Structure 1
């Protein structure tokens, strides 16, 4: 974490006497400040990665971290100044120890809030995917049932049409037989009448 790097660099400046690390300390301060601003407002990281602002569920954790940083930055800048007395630097170093612990804790809470949000989104996505799968299975079942119903309906209609046609044929057949009988009877009657007329003429 940047907060740990800042503390380590400040330790090198104060305890180990590496005055050349003061510039690096100021660079880390600017980098930390930029990171917080990007998290809050969005922006480009390392000139290539674009980040969006933190979501509302994480914003409170970020604001708490910024509040601690606002108290910590003057302490670090005081350490990096050459004109500061040794007593003031040592006092600032002790304050930095406490501030670093608070920054680390707040940073961990921010990361934890991000993780909780990510897990929540994953659970919601899993629930949505499961719902979609259930809907797809139900839809497939409905399609199968409807197709089977249509097949049975078509078969039933075919059988019903056959039964209706058979009933019509049975109803029409006696009429056909009666018509044929009448026709034969009429032809027989005319034939007998003609025969009788011929016999009467021969007798006369």
Structure 2
């Protein structure tokens, strides 16, 4: 599902952006639904929001945010699906096409140690994919414990040392977020 939303501000000398987008999508065989009322728009937004609830019923998940250049969105979404197939875990991928910020989700059985291991391997493959496509391991939600090793991979030793130095300046006694990445 690709959900497009435009505000009312566009150059009236050009075609309405929704009409243009619907035309392009139609040329590629997409089923197009245009919300004509605020209630219809709300229903479409609820469909998007239901992805998280729906996938929660499938098992435990690792969900992240990986940001890639917009030109790489297709390759990223296809790559996440391929990673899921390769590691025998389910995947889902939602995100914000406008800025390339994607939220890949790896779904697995938390009671099965082999499945947990495959999920972790798939997670690492998704992080690698994002970097290989010219992106970053984080877009909106920062870097937590799950991605800390990938931060080192993305930034390298010089940049990590710079981050540690800045942290030291603002937290010389190490009382802010002790035991975490920085």
- Normalization by structure 2: what TM-score? 0.23
Of structures 1 and 2, the larger Rg is shown by 1
More strand by share: 2
- Normalization by structure 1: what TM-score? 0.21
